[in-house]
């Protein structure tokens, strides 16, 4: 295995959070040298980090932070020299780094003769198979998502036809449920009518009866820091025939694709299964569009993606095939059909890949009427 360097904090770097499963808000240096894990850190974090895993800690004081502070150098220079000393002490001469590795540190290390190779696939691959702690956190987040979806359905049932309801009110109520279940969500989709057919439009304004409302939520578990992801679509009152048909087709595509999930399955095969159902019904897909054409209607996105420390990560389930699914992956399956200017329908479940098939982690009905 190659040596590894990561410089980040654990809130914004999934690569580092995977190696150090603890909330550390300030950037620090993580290194793997000959398979041994090293942390170059401020002494204020030492006690917490020493309790998490078998890291070898290298404190800033041991690397001469006090001498650097008294040298008259600027903070940026002190930070650079401190980490150069840390890498030199560890004897790292070449390393793989994430694509987000900071340029200032890469330049400084290369200036000292350290060879760095940015390899996003390397780090994506390291965290595809979920640990027991990550799976437990993902299941907690999924239960929170389902509880929040219950609140949204109740509001749609009781408020849309009896005095009005806004997207903002639904989101506020759902956010409270997330917090009560130990999860967080910066934002999420509650998109009525035409908003539901526009990519990741988060939604806003009043919700009217008779139009589809796409609710796509991805809360993150506060303990394990992993996400879930689920989508349902609802219509209050009379359901238009075309929306009911889109919903039927999406459910059929969801079932067909989930049925193909297993260790070794190709993501492209799952995507093709969904496209075949839509195309047989006369719906356009990215397989049938002309090269260079922008597809705005029909099934215009991929079928799904991996979920973990990022809400969108490897493996992908789309037109461009990646590596096969493997036991321990967690993926979404989210077929959808849309008409620009009108709205759309999307259904999304979260599935754990196992050696014998797929374990659906989503325990929620698919009712179109809330």
DSSP string, 184-220: E-S--EEEEGGGGGSTT----SB--TTSEEEEEE--E
Q: Of 194, 10, 193, 7, which is closest to residue 107 (Cα–Cα)?
A: 7
- pLDDT value of residue 53: 77
- pLDDT value of residue 284: 97
Structural domains of the chain, ranges and CATH numbers in brackets: 4-126 (3.40.350.10), 132-360 (3.90.230.10)
pLDDT in tens, the chain (370 residues): 899 999 999 999 999 999 999 999 999 999 999 999 999 999 888 888 888 778 999 999 999 999 999 999 999 999 999 999 999 999 999 999 999 999 999 999 999 999 999 999 999 999 999 999 999 999 999 999 999 999 999 999 998 877 689 999 999 999 999 999 999 999 999 999 999 999 899 999 999 999 999 999 999 999 999 999 999 999 999 999 999 999 999 999 999 999 999 999 999 999 999 999 999 999 999 999 999 999 999 999 999 999 999 999 999 999 987 889 999 999 999 999 999 999 999 999 999 999 999 999 999 999 999 9
Cis (ω within 30 of 0) for the bond into 198? no
Look up the pTM and report it. Answer: 0.94
Residue located via tokens 């989101």: 171
- pLDDT value of residue 1: 86
User: Distance between CA atoms of 368 and 370, rounded to whole angstroms?
Assistant: 6
Burial of 188-212, coded b for 16+ CB within 10 Å and e otherwise, reads: bbbbbbbbbbbeeeebeeebeeebb
User: Distance between CA atoms of 3 and 17, rounded to whole angstroms?
Assistant: 18
CB-side neighbour CA atoms (13 Å) of 304: 36
Contacts with 132 (C-beta within 8 Å, 6 or more apart), sequence order: none
Distances in Å between the alpha carbon of 168 and those of 42, 146, 184, 264? 42, 19, 17, 42
Question: H or E stretch including 95?
Answer: strand 94-97
Q: With 0-12 CB in 10 A as exposed, 13-18 as middle and 19+ as buried, what is 282?
A: exposed
Residue pair 20/116 in contact (Cβ under 8 Å)? The answer is no
- pLDDT value of residue 51: 82
Q: Of 244, 264, 240, which is closest to residue 252 (Cα–Cα)?
A: 244
Q: Of 119, 61, 70, which is closest to residue 95 (Cα–Cα)?
A: 119
- pLDDT value of residue 161: 78
């Amino acid at each position: 295995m190659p040596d590894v360097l990561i410089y980040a904090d654990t809130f914004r770097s999934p690569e580092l959070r995977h190696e150090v499963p603890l909330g550390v808000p300030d950037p620090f240096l993580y290194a793997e040298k000959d398979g041994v894990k090293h942390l170059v850190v401020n002494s204020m974090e030492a006690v917490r980090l020493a309790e998490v895993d078998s890291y070898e800690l290298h404190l800033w004081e041991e690397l001469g932070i006090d001498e650097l502070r008294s040298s008259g150098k600027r903070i940026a220079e002190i930070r650079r020299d401190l980490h150069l000393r840390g890498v030199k002490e560890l004897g790292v001469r070449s390393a793989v780094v994430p694509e987000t590795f900071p340029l200032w540190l890469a330049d400084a290390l290369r200036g000292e003769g350290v060879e760095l190779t940015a390899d996003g696939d390397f780090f994506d691959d390291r965290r595809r198979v979920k640990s027991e702690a990550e799976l437990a956190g993902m299941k907690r987040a999924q239960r929170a998502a389902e509880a929040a979806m219950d609140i949204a359905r109740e509001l749609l049932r009781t408020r849309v036809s009896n005095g009005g309801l806004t997207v903002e009110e639904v989101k506020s109520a759902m956010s409270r449920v997330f917090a009560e279940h130990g999860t967080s969500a910066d934002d999420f989709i509650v998109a009525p009518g035409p908003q539901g057919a526009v990519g990741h439009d988060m939604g806003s304004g009043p919700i009217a009866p008779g139009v589809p409302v796409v609710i796509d939520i991805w809360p993150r578990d506060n303990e394990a820091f992993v996400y879930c992801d689920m989508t349902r679509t609802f219509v209050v009152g009379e359901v238009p025939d075309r929306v009911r048909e889109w919903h039927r087709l999406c459910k059929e595509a969801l079932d067909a694709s989930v049925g193909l999930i297993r260790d070794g399955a190709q993501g492209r095969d799952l995507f093709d299964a969904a496209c075949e159902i839509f195309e047989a019904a006369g719906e356009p897909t990215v397989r049938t569009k002309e090269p260079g054409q922008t597809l705005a209607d029909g099934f215009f996105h991929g079928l799904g993606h991996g979920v973990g420390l990022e809400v969108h990560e490897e493996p992908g389930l789309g037109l461009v095939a990646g590596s096969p699914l493997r036991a321990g992956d967690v993926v979404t399956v989210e077929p959808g059909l849309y008409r620009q200017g009108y709205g759309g329908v999307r259904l999304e479940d979260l599935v754990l890949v196992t050696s014998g098939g797929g374990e659906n982690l989503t325990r929620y009905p698919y009712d179109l009427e809330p």
